[in-house]
Amino acid sequence: MDLVISTMLAACLGATPAPAPLPPLPTRQQLAWQQMEFGMFCHFGINTFHNMEWTDGTKDPKTFNPSECNPRQWVEVAKAAGMKYLVVTAKHHDGFALYPTAYSDYSVKASPWRDGQGDVVREVADACHDLGVMFGFYLSPWDRHEPKYADPSAYDEHFRNMLRELLGNYGKVGVVWFDGAGTEGHVYDWDSYYALIREMQPDALIAICGPDIRWVGNEDGIAPDTLWNVQERDGQQVWWPAECDVPIRRGQWFYHTGGERRLRSLAELLEIFYRSIGHGAVLLLNISPDRRGLLPEADVARLMELNAVITETFRHNLAQSANVTASNTRGGAAAFAPVRAIEGRPDAYWATDDDITEAWIELDFGEARTFDRFVAREHIALGQRVIAHRIEVPDGDGWKTVSDGTTIGYNRIHRFPETTARRVRLHITQSRACPAIQAIGVYKSSPREAAATE
Ligand code: FUL
The alpha carbon of 92 and the centre of ligand 1 are apart by a number of angstroms equal to 8
Residue 179 beta carbon below 6 angstroms from any ligand 1 atom? yes
Question: Domain for residue 23, yes or no?
Answer: no
pLDDT(5) > 70: no
Question: Domain for residue 13, yes or no?
Answer: no
Question: Domain for residue 91, yes or no?
Answer: yes
User: pLDDT band for position 454 (50/70/90)?
Assistant: confident
Q: Same domain, yes or no, for 157 and 303? A: yes
Q: Same domain, yes or no, for 300 and 232? A: yes
Q: What is the pLDDT of residues 214-253, one digit of tens each?
A: 999 999 999 999 999 999 999 999 999 999 999 999 999 9
- Residues 256/262/263/269 CA torsion (nearest 10 deg): -130
CATH number of 379's domain: 2.60.120.260
Question: Domain for residue 143, yes or no?
Answer: yes
**What is the model's pLDDT at position 184?**
85
Let me know: does 254 contact 280? Beta carbons within 8 Å: no
Question: Domain for residue 52, yes or no?
Answer: yes
Please report, for residues 89, 100, 217, the alpha-carbon distance to residue 160 in angstroms, rounded to integers and kept in the order given: 16, 16, 27
Residue 94 beta carbon below 6 angstroms from any ligand 1 atom? no
Let me know: does 350 contact 326? Beta carbons within 8 Å: yes
Q: Same domain, yes or no, for 299 and 342? A: no
**What is the model's pLDDT at position 397?**
96
Residue 146 beta carbon below 6 angstroms from any ligand 1 atom? no
Let me know: does 107 contact 61? Beta carbons within 8 Å: yes
Q: Same domain, yes or no, for 202 and 222? A: yes
Which residues share a beta bridge with 374? 414, 442
Let me know: does 388 contact 426? Beta carbons within 8 Å: no
**DSSP 8-state code for residue 97:** B
Let me know: does 388 contact 403? Beta carbons within 8 Å: no
Last residue of a domain, one of 313, 340, 374: 313
Residue 427: CB atoms within 10 Å: 18
Last residue of a domain, one of 313, 342, 362: 313
Q: Atom 3 of ligand 1 has which residue's CA nearest to it?
A: 181
Let me know: does 158 contact 146? Beta carbons within 8 Å: yes
Q: Same domain, yes or no, for 96 and 201? A: yes
- Residues 214/216/219/224 CA torsion (nearest 10 deg): -170
Q: What is the pLDDT of residues 29-72, one digit of tens each?
A: 999 999 999 999 999 999 999 999 999 999 999 999 999 999 99
pLDDT(1) > 50: no
Task: Report which secondary-structure segment, H or E, holds 178.
Answer: strand 175-178
Please report, for residues 38, 219, 268, 316, the alpha-carbon distance to residue 303 in angstroms, rounded to integers and kept in the order given: 12, 18, 12, 21
Q: Same domain, yes or no, for 57 and 202? A: yes
- Predicted TM-score (pTM) of the model is 0.96
Q: What is the pLDDT of residues 143-181, one digit of tens each?
A: 999 999 999 999 999 999 999 999 999 999 999 999 999
**What is the model's pLDDT at position 3?**
53
**What is the model's pLDDT at position 13?**
56
Last residue of a domain, one of 265, 293, 313: 313
Q: Same domain, yes or no, for 305 and 390? A: no
Residue of 41, 52, 179 with the most ligand 1 atoms within 8 Å of its CB, for mutation: 179
In this prediction, residues 189-212 reach a mean pLDDT of 98
Q: What is the pLDDT of residues 61-106, one digit of tens each?
A: 999 999 999 999 999 999 999 999 999 999 999 999 999 999 999 9
What is the domain count for the chain?
2
Q: Same domain, yes or no, for 325 and 287? A: no
Q: Same domain, yes or no, for 103 and 211? A: yes
Question: Domain for residue 130, yes or no?
Answer: yes
Query: What whole-number distance in Å separates Cα of residue 25 and Cα of residue 21?
Result: 8
| Amino acid at residue number 156 | D
Give the range of the structural domain holding residue 405, as residue numbers without chain letter.
Answer: 316-453
Q: Same domain, yes or no, for 112 and 248? A: yes
Q: Same domain, yes or no, for 361 and 274? A: no
H helix intervals, 90-221? 120-131, 152-169, 190-200
Q: What percent of the chain has pLDDT over 70?
A: 97
Q: Same domain, yes or no, for 305 and 357? A: no
pLDDT(9) > 80: no
Q: What is the pLDDT of residues 317-340, one digit of tens each?
A: 999 999 999 999 999 999 999 999
CATH number of 132's domain: 3.20.20.80
